[in-house]
Structure 1
């Protein structure tokens, strides 16, 4: 399996023309560029400046008429990391991203997640970037998949979960 870096994955945002959708399934992410801001937040100091490259990218593509959406499937009560994500989600939304929350206990019984239960980005219903993590939760990279069968299953799951999930401004953990 060949993996691309997060920077290479972000380049996919330069090529999509309609919709980018992200499914998040983890209750904790060990992302090195967030360790400082996350640790600061745990100490009561909010600093979302590290998000600027991402929010600038989202703003640019959404201002061009494209959509960027995300569903976060989360355990309740939230892990500290998810509490931090919840506290900073307004920054993503101000940039133009639409984010919804789905408590894990509300998932349909028997739902099997495509892409081996990994997080993924779906671009224009044609291309997947499936996130892979090591045993400690650190990002290894993304696997690009264009298999019509896998993409179709991701579209089905996306549509199901998007309709079930709660918009950020309505979600009260």
Structure 2
């Protein structure tokens, strides 16, 4: 373990080759009464031609990261039929793709024989793991950062196994 723990922002800013993200939950911090999820439930959809209305500053960060030559890939393992939250997430994923992220979806039933970490994660340059911890109702439970080589190998291997089986975003049909 390194003596200085970088922050998530530092990991993203200093990433040189790859940033991969594995998501394995069917809902994240859902607020039904207000916010973008509530707006989506009421019928609002993001306009592909109105980039200013998209999720900022995240998408700007992704575009800047990709412009430095970093490959940013995101894989999502989802239950089918998908949850309402995953429908919401899928409907806005075109913005991630427009910012330069490569995104794939894997039905959970096709991941049954894969060895997967117990938490969602980001892996930067095959070295730094940022674990994402969540409470039972999907709220953030904080993060944890490590450069443990065994954890990095586990995450890299798991992600590639998911990526190989997953369907690219533009081909994944919501069920």
Structure 2: runs of 5+ lacking an equivalent: 1-6, 48-52
Q: Which digits, 9 at most, give the CA deviation of each residue in 1:106-143, with x for residues without a partner?
A: 1142x3322xx110000000010000112332102210
Structure 1: runs of 5+ lacking an equivalent: 1-7
Alignment of 1:30-69 (within 5 A): 30=29, 36-47=35-46, 49=53, 51-69=55-73
Name the Cα RMSD after superposition.
1.6
In the other structure, the counterpart of 2:116 is 113
Aligned residues: 161
In the other structure, the counterpart of 1:4 is none
TM-score, normalisation: structure 1: 0.87
* SS in structure 2 of the partner of residue 101 of structure 1: strand
* SS in structure 2 of the partner of residue 14 of structure 1: helix
Tell whether the 8 Å contact from 2:54 to 2:95 is kept in structure 1 after alignment: no
Stretches of 4+ moved more than 4 A in 1? none
* SS in structure 2 of the partner of residue 51 of structure 1: coil
1:170 partnered with 2:167:
no
Alignment of 1:1-173 (within 5 A): 8-30=7-29, 36-47=35-46, 49=53, 51-109=55-113, 111-114=114-117, 117-173=118-174
Distance 2:115 2:159 in 1: 12
Give the superposition deviation at 1:47: 4.6
TM-score, normalisation: structure 2: 0.86
